[in-house]
Amino acid sequence: MAHDECMLHIAASNLPQSALSYVAFRVSFLETLERIALARQFDTSAPDGFGYLTEVPFLKGVPPHVQLDLLADTWSRHLASEQHEATLVDEAIVYAVCETAGRIAEQDPTFFLRVMRAGPLEMVLPPDHQLASELRALHLSLSNEGDFLMISQFEDMPPHAASKLKKQFRLDAERLEQMFDVLGRWYIQHDMLDKLLGLVNEREIRRVARMLNLQQPAL
């Protein structure tokens, strides 16, 4: 993975194309996929939903399969040959994958190691407190202001009060609308599997296709 090209621009920063970003996206994607498989096997799910995006209170209701689609989209633009200006949804996803991967490194090192050993990039990082801190520091090093974490405060407020608070914090209405749009999504984009290039291996691609009823790519 290139270390000198940073193609997802967040506020005044770039998300580095590094081992840490790869780890954060990969672990979060496969942990959410595993949770989907378990939920289907036992015909149940967590009361408040599940998946890496539950790290962002406003987005905890996004269906897990849509969470995977959103992650694939952000990942593909992170690796793109041209620079992309991050949306507020991208910022939320970067935060969520870093927090999720950090938590798993600390709480489930066996799963963490299994996922990393099977990946398209050969690397084995010890899943410990230090790595968890480095994963969380990845999003903390970015210059965004965490607006995606503030939106949930507006849900229970009267419209006029919410509007006043948004102006006070200079929150961009268009960027906020993107977050609301995500809540209404149910279907997966047709090119989702193509966007996972470099993040998952061929066997995992086929598994995603079967689980989400997508056309399997010609690998």
> In the chain, where are the structural domains located?
8-212
- Give me Rg for the CA atoms of the chain: 17
CA distance 159 to 24: 36
Contact assessment for residue 24 and residue 135, using Cβ atoms and an 8 Å cutoff? yes
Below-70 pLDDT ranges, the chain: 1-6, 44-48, 145-146, 152-172, 217-219
Predicted TM-score of the model (pTM): 0.89
Q: How far apart are CA 191 and CA 69, in angstroms?
A: 9
* pLDDT (0 to 100) of residue 162: 47
- Which tens digits make up the pLDDT trace of 140-171? 988 776 677 777 666 554 455 445 555 554 56
Q: What is the pLDDT of residue 69?
A: 98
Position 4 scores a pLDDT of: 45
Burial string for 3-21 (b: 16+ CB within 10 Å, else e) reads eeebbbbbeeebbbbeebb
- Phi and psi, residue 13, nearest 5°: -120, 170
Asked whether the CA dihedral 210, 80, 103, 155 is positive or negative, the reply is negative
The pLDDT, as a whole number, for residue 217 is 66
DSSP string, 162-218: HHHHHHHTT--HHHHHHHHHHHT--SPPTTTGGGGTTTS-HHHHHHHHHHHT-PPP-
Give the 3-state secondary structure percentages of the chain, helix then strand then coil, rounded to 5. Answer: 60, 5, 35
- AA letter at 186: W
